[in-house]
């Protein structure tokens, strides 16, 4: 063991692929955001009146995941804050990720905290928190930008009441002004909103289109030129990462993840250069993580169905699967879903690449659907590890 560890440590210490791995992390905001020049200028143009003391319009930003919405917004606001400091204007930015703070209470409490008042975790009514926020921000003259990132998460969970109040808040303030920047990757989000909220949140709208393969290549090359040491990757590696990510939906996060993980795999293997084969392995690793995450967040009955598939071993007919599923469900003192519903779930699992369903001919006995599991026992264990009842049933 000691030998193995020594080996591992010396491999890690002598690894020369990354010059600065941090720069490949998803939350790192680069100084250089190629192919987002238009969006940067447009957002800056909308928000710049704040530097002269007027309230900028609210802005609504949307685009599919990984198109630079968060990075561009943080970048522009940082520049505006810096400029505000230079010209002596007090600009404050409250950045809230509504996926983490997905209740009206948490969002308002976070806004309060960003202007200096701690709010207890519970105990106050939402309207009381809102009232405190109004009094607090209006106690001195300032301009506040409330960035509501992934704002769809908040609305889906608790409706648009907080957004409604926030978009009207300026009417209640006499000294301070607040502008809202709402960000979402749910392109249908605006449809869920009350029309009044929609029109005030979307005073200005900014669309972030997906990147194409050559844009992703640029983004990757520039990031890699800082994050990786010289001569540690082939140009073909960047091309491949860009092409794979462009095939999904032009997601820069996916492209960067692929390149970072490829570099990590190369280092782990003791290679001095990232090669295409490392990218292929990285792609598999990401795919595996995706499947594990998908299963982990599935409803209980889907998990039980997956477990039944695992217990069937090489696969079985839909009838056998349903019987096994019913047995497991009843053992847990639950009520089974109907065969029809289970059949829908099987189709879903098939589409997600978790199960494989195929119709086979049984000669004169007709045709039957045979289902088997497409993921490894190791991945299944990882996906079900939080649910001990299910995890305990996995065959060794
Ligand atoms: N033009 C760009 N240049 C360099 N890096 C970029 C660019 N666009 C995005 N990135 C990087 O890609 C990753 C994803 O970007 P970001 O988080 O801004 O996406 P997003 O549009 O907010 O996605 P989501 O909707 O999933 O929140 C980040 O690491 C970001 O730094
Ligand atoms: Mg984002």
CATH superfamily, domain at 37-207: P-loop containing nucleotide triphosphate hydrolases (3.40.50.300)
- Cα separation of 203 and 205, whole Å? 7
> Cα of 252 to ligand 2 centre, how many Å?
11
Pocket test for ligand 1, best of 25, 26, 39, 71 (most atoms within 8 A of CB): 71
98, 104, 106, 112 alpha-carbon torsion, rounded to 10°:
100
- Cα separation of 139 and 134, whole Å? 9
Average pLDDT score over residue span 184-208: 89
| pLDDT for 261 | 96
Residue nearest to atom 29 of ligand 1 (CA): 26
> Cα of 185 to ligand 1 centre, how many Å?
12
- Residue 49 clears pLDDT 80, i.e. is over it: yes
Using 50, 70 and 90 to split pLDDT, how confident is the model at 264? very high
35 CA closest ligand 1 atom index: 1
Is 185's C-beta closer than 6 angstroms to any atom of ligand 1?
A: yes
Say if residues 350 and 356 touch (Cβ distance below 8 Å). yes
**CATH class as words, domain 298-391:** mainly alpha
SS3 86: helix
SS3 347: helix
What residues have their beta carbon closer than 5 A to ion ligand 2?
A: 70
- Residue 151 clears pLDDT 90, i.e. is over it: yes
Say if residues 359 and 369 touch (Cβ distance below 8 Å). yes
Using 50, 70 and 90 to split pLDDT, how confident is the model at 156? confident
Average pLDDT score over residue span 161-177: 89
CATH topology of domain 211-294: Helicase, Ruva Protein; domain 3 (1.10.8)
Q: How many CB atoms lie within 10 A of CB 371?
A: 23
Q: Mean pLDDT: which of 20-29, 257-266, 358-367 is highest?
A: 257-266
State what percent of residues in the chain have pLDDT above 90: 57
- Cα separation of 98 and 239, whole Å? 34
> Cα of 30 to ligand 1 centre, how many Å?
10
Residue limits of CATH 3.40.50.300 in the chain: 37-207
Is 70's C-beta closer than 6 angstroms to any atom of ligand 1?
A: yes
Say if residues 261 and 237 touch (Cβ distance below 8 Å). no
Between residues 249 and 182, the one the model is more confident about: 182
Is 36's C-beta closer than 6 angstroms to any atom of ligand 1?
A: yes
Using 50, 70 and 90 to split pLDDT, how confident is the model at 213? very high
- Cα separation of 94 and 148, whole Å? 8
Residue limits of CATH 1.10.8.60 in the chain: 211-294
Q: Which residues pair with 146 in a beta bridge?
A: 94, 180
> Cα of 65 to ligand 1 centre, how many Å?
8
Residue limits of CATH 1.10.10.10 in the chain: 298-391
Q: Mean pLDDT: which of 9-13, 72-76, 120-124, 312-316 is highest?
A: 72-76
User: What single-letter DSSP state applies at residue 122?
Assistant: S
CB burial readout 199-228, b (16+ within 10 A) else e: ebbbebebebebbebebbbebbbebbeebb
Average pLDDT score over residue span 109-120: 82
Q: CA distances (Å), 254 to each of 74, 92, 215, 296, in order?
A: 20, 31, 13, 20
State what percent of residues in the chain have pLDDT above 70: 99
| pLDDT for 299 | 92
> Cα of 207 to ligand 1 centre, how many Å?
14
Is 71's C-beta closer than 6 angstroms to any atom of ligand 1?
A: yes
> Cα of 191 to ligand 2 centre, how many Å?
20
Least confident of 5-9, 15-19, 220-224, 371-375: 5-9
Is 33's C-beta closer than 6 angstroms to any atom of ligand 1?
A: yes
Average pLDDT score over residue span 156-182: 90
- Residue 15 clears pLDDT 80, i.e. is over it: no
| pLDDT for 66 | 94
Percent composition of the chain: helix, strand, coil (DSSP 3-state, to 5):
55, 15, 30
Is 66's C-beta closer than 6 angstroms to any atom of ligand 1?
A: yes
Q: Which ligand is nearest to the CA of 149?
A: 2
């Amino acid at each position: 063991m000691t030998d193995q560890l020594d080996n591992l440590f010396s491999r890690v210490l002598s690894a020369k692929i990354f010059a600065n791995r941090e720069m490949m992390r998803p939350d790192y905001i680069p100084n250089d955001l190629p192919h987002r020049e238009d969006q940067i200028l447009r957002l800056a143009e909308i928000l710049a009146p704040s530097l002269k003391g007027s309230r900028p319009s609210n802005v609504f930003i949307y685009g599919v995941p990984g198109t630079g919405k968060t990075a561009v917004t943080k970048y522009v606001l940082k520049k505006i804050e810096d400029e505000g400091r230079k010209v002596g204007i007090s600009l404050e930015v409250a950045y809230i990720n509504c996926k983490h703070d997905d209740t009206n209470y948490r969002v308002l409490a976070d806004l309060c905290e960003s202007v200096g008042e701690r709010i207890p975790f519970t105990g106050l009514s939402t309207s009381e928190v809102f009232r405190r926020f109004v009094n607090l921000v209006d106690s001195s003259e300032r301009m506040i930008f409330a960035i509501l990132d992934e704002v769809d998460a908040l609305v889906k969970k608790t409706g648009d009441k907080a957004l409604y109040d926030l978009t009207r808040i300026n009417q209640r303030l006499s000294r301070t002004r607040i502008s809202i920047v709402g960000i979402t990757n749910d392109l249908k989000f605006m449809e869920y909103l009350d029309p009044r909220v929609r029109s005030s949140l979307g005073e200005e709208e900014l669309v972030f289109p997906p990147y194409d393969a050559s844009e992703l290549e640029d983004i990757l090359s520039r990031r890699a030129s800082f994050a990786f040491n010289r001569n540690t990757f082939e140009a073909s590696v960047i091309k491949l990462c860009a092409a794979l990510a462009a095939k999904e939906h032009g997601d820069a996060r996916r492209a960067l993840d692929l390149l970072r993980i490829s570099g990590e795999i190369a280092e782990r293997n003791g290679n001095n250069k990232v090669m295409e084969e490392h990218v292929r392995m990285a792609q598999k690793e990401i795919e595996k993580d995706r499947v594990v995450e998908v299963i982990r967040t599935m409803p209980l009955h889907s998990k039980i169905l997956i477990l039944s598939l695992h217990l069937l071993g090489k696969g079985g007919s839909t009838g056998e699967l349903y019987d096994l599923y019913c047995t497991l469900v009843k053992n847990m003192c639950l009520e089974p879903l109907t065969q029809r519903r289970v059949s829908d779930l099987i189709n879903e699992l098939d589409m997600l690449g978790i199960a494989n369903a195929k119709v086979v001919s049984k000669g004169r006995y007709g045709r039957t659907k045979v289902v088997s599991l497409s993921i490894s026992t190791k991945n299944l264990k990882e996906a079900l590890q939080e649910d001990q009842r299910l995890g305990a049933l996995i065959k060794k």
